[in-house]
Amino acid sequence: MSDDQKPKGVKPAGLPTGAKPAGPPKAAKPAGPPKAAKPAGPPGAKAVKPPARPALRPPKPPTARVVGAPAEGDGEAHGLPVLTRKDFATPADVRWCPGCGDYAVLAAVQRVLPELTEKKEDVVFISGIGCSSRFPYYMNTYGMHSIHGRAPTVATGLKSSRPELDVWVITGDGDALSIGAGHFAHMLRRNVDLQVILFNNQIYGLTKGQYSPTSEVGKVTKSSPYGSLDHPFNPAALALGADASFVARTMDRDPKHMQAMLRRAHAHRGTAFVEVYQNCNIFNDGAFFDFTEKDSKPERTVFVEHGQPLVYDDGTKGIMLDGVTLRSVNLDDGNRSTDDCLVWDEGDKTLAFLVIQQLFWNDALPRPFGVFYIEDRPAYDAMLQEQVEAVTEKKGEGDLRALLHAGATWTIS
Partner 1 sequence: MSDTASPTTTPTRTLPEVTVLFAGDSGDGMQLTGGQFSHATALARNDLATLPDFPAEIRAPAGTLYGVSAFQLHFGERAIHTPGDEVDLLVAMNAAALKVNLGRVRSGGTIIVNRNSFAQRDLDLASYESNPLEDGSLEGYDVVEVELTKLTREALADFDLSTKDTDRSKNMFALGLALWMYTRPIEPAREWIRGKFATNETIRDANLTVLNKGYHYGDITEAFAARYEVPPAKLDPGVYRTIKGNDALALGLVAATVKSGLKIFYGTYPITPASDLLHALSRYKEFGLRTFQAEDEIAAVGSALGASFGGGLGVTATSGPGVALKTEFIGLATMTELPLVVIDVQRAGPSTGMPTKTEQSDLMMAIYGRNGEAPAPVLAAKTPGDCFEAAYEAARIAVKYMTPVLLLSDGYLGNGSEPWRIPDPDALPDFPVHFADSEDAPTDEDGTFLPYVRDAETLARPWAKPGTPALEHRLGGLEKDERTGGVSYDPENHQRMTVLRAEKIAGITRELPPLEVEGDDNGEVLVIGWGSTYGAIKAAVNHIRDESDLRVGHVHLRWLNPLPADLGEVIERFGRVLVPELNHGQLVRLLRERYLIPAVSLPKIQGLPFKASEIQDAIRAAASNAN
Contact residues: partner 1, CB under 8 A: 1-2, 5, 7, 90, 92, 119-122, 124, 126, 129, 136-137, 139-147, 150, 152-162, 164-165, 182-183, 186, 384, 387-388, 391-392, 394-398, 400-401, 403-413
Closest separation between CB of residue 45 and partner 1, Å? 48
Nearest distance from C-beta of residue 395 to partner 1, angstroms? 4
To the nearest 10°, the Cα dihedral for 208, 210, 214, 217?
A: 150
Helix, strand or coil for residue 4? helix
Q: Which is closer to partner 1, CB of 178 or CB of 250?
A: 178
Residue nearer to partner 1 on the CB measure, 162 or 222:
162
The CB-of-22 to partner 1 minimum distance in angstroms stands at 28
Nearest to 290 by CA among 361, 209, 344: 361
Nearer CB in complex with partner 1: 145/377: 145
Smallest distance from partner 1 to CB 351, Å: 29
Q: Which is nearer to partner 1, 110 or 141 (CB)?
A: 141
DSSP 196-221: EEEEE-SSBTTTTSB--TTSPTT--B
| 3-state SS class at 130 | coil
d(CA 167, CA 172): 17
Q: Closest distance between partner 1 and the C-beta of residue 1, in Å?
A: 4
Nearest in space to 326 (alpha carbons), one of 314, 309, 313, 308:
309
Please, which residue, 55 or 400, has the CB nearer to partner 1?
Answer: 400
Question: Greatest CA separation found in the chain?
Answer: 100
Minimal distance, residue 85 CB to partner 1, in Å? 15
Return the beta strands (E) in 92-245 as ranges: 123-127, 142-145, 166-172, 194-200
For residues 52 and 403, which CB has a smaller minimum distance to partner 1 in the complex?
Answer: 403
